[in-house]
Structures are given as C-alpha cells and as structure tokens.
Amino acid sequence: MKPRKPLASGPLPPWDQAWRIPKKGVNGEYYPIVRVGRHIPFGYSQDEDDKNLLIPIPSELELLETAKKYLKEYSLRMVARWLTEQSGRYISHVGLKKRISIEYRRRQKATIHLMYARRYKEASETARKLQENRLGGIKTRLYKADSTGDNEGGDVEAQEQGFSEESDRSERETTSDTCT
C-alpha cells in the first residue's frame, strides 16, 4: 500500500462552512470531502487510494462558481452546455439544477439552525437574568428562622428581602423627625 498523500496544505477546513460542498480555505485552496453516496459531484474526482474520499478539481469548481453567476442571466440548459464545453466533463441541466438546489437547501438549513441557536442563547441568558433578579429568587433567599421552625420575626418573605415591621416603623420615625 502506498503512503497517503497529505490532503491539503495549510490549516484545517473552516468548520463554520459545513453546508458548503466545495470547502474552501482561507487562501482559496479547496479541501477534499468524504464520499457519502454513489454519485461523485461535479468538481470532484475519486481518490485512487481511498474510494471514500473525493479530491477537488479546482478548475471545475471555479467554473461552477462562474456558472452560478451566469444562471442569473441565462437558462439552465445554456449554462450546463457552456460548463460542459469549458470543463470537458459532462453535466446535464438537471444535474446542474440539482447541484444548485442542494446547496441552496443546505445553506437555508444552516441559516435556520444558526438563527435557532442564537435565539436559544438569548432566551437562556434572559431566563438566567430573570431567575437571578426576581423577588424570592435562588440568590435572594436568606432564611432567618430558627432551627425549631419558630418564626420570631414574622413573615419569611419580608425577612428574605431584609424588611421587618420594626425596621419599617423606625424608618418612618426618622423620616418624620427630619421633615419637622
């Protein structure tokens, strides 16, 4: 068995682009992808050593990106014919449409998942803040009742907040003294 070739020079592929079929690095280099089905997508060829690995063909992938731009002005059939002539590899208009629609669906799913992740994070943070700041929350509970269960000071919730009838009365007296 031959020694394996390095997959790509440079850093690992970016993980935030999971929905993209042509995984592109920071410097513009393409990364190999794992073969999932029996179909080999346009712009890739099967690795000779590992049949489950697809090696990118940069010229075909660049032509495919250009073809996506041409689709805004021309029909699928014309763009597929142009792509076949330029690359030398056949792709039908149905195959091109399927490739474009699969990428679009993956992009939409990734966008939705990111949106839900962001909303979950915001809701979790809001719930945490509400839990900490609400009256009688976990961090505000200070029980001053004695161990026998006798509650000398009156209301437990008032004690949790640091209020009692005596402190309230003395506070009113000092306020009335300063006003006169």
pLDDT tens for residues 106-156?
Answer: 889 888 999 999 999 999 999 888 877 776 655 555 555 544 555 555 555
Total domains, the chain: 1
Asked, for residue 138, whether it belongs to a domain, the answer is no
Asked, for residue 45, whether it belongs to a domain, the answer is yes
Q: Give the domain extent around 89.
A: 17-108
38 pLDDT more than 80: yes
Asked, for residue 40, whether it belongs to a domain, the answer is yes
Per-residue pLDDT tens for 50-88? 888 999 999 999 999 999 999 999 999 999 999 999 999
Range of lowest pLDDT (42-46, 132-136, 173-177) = 173-177
Per-residue pLDDT tens for 9-29? 444 444 444 445 566 666 778
- Which pLDDT score, from 0 to 100, does residue 31 have? 83
Asked, for residue 93, whether it belongs to a domain, the answer is yes
Q: Between 42 and 168, whose confidence is greater?
A: 42
Task: Tell me the pairing of strands 33-34 and 44-46.
Answer: unpaired
| pTM check: above 0.85 | no
| Cross-strand partners of 24 | 30
- Which pLDDT score, from 0 to 100, does residue 133 have? 75
> Which residues, 6 or more positions from 165, have their beta carbon under 8 angstroms from its beta carbon?
154
Asked, for residue 2, whether it belongs to a domain, the answer is no
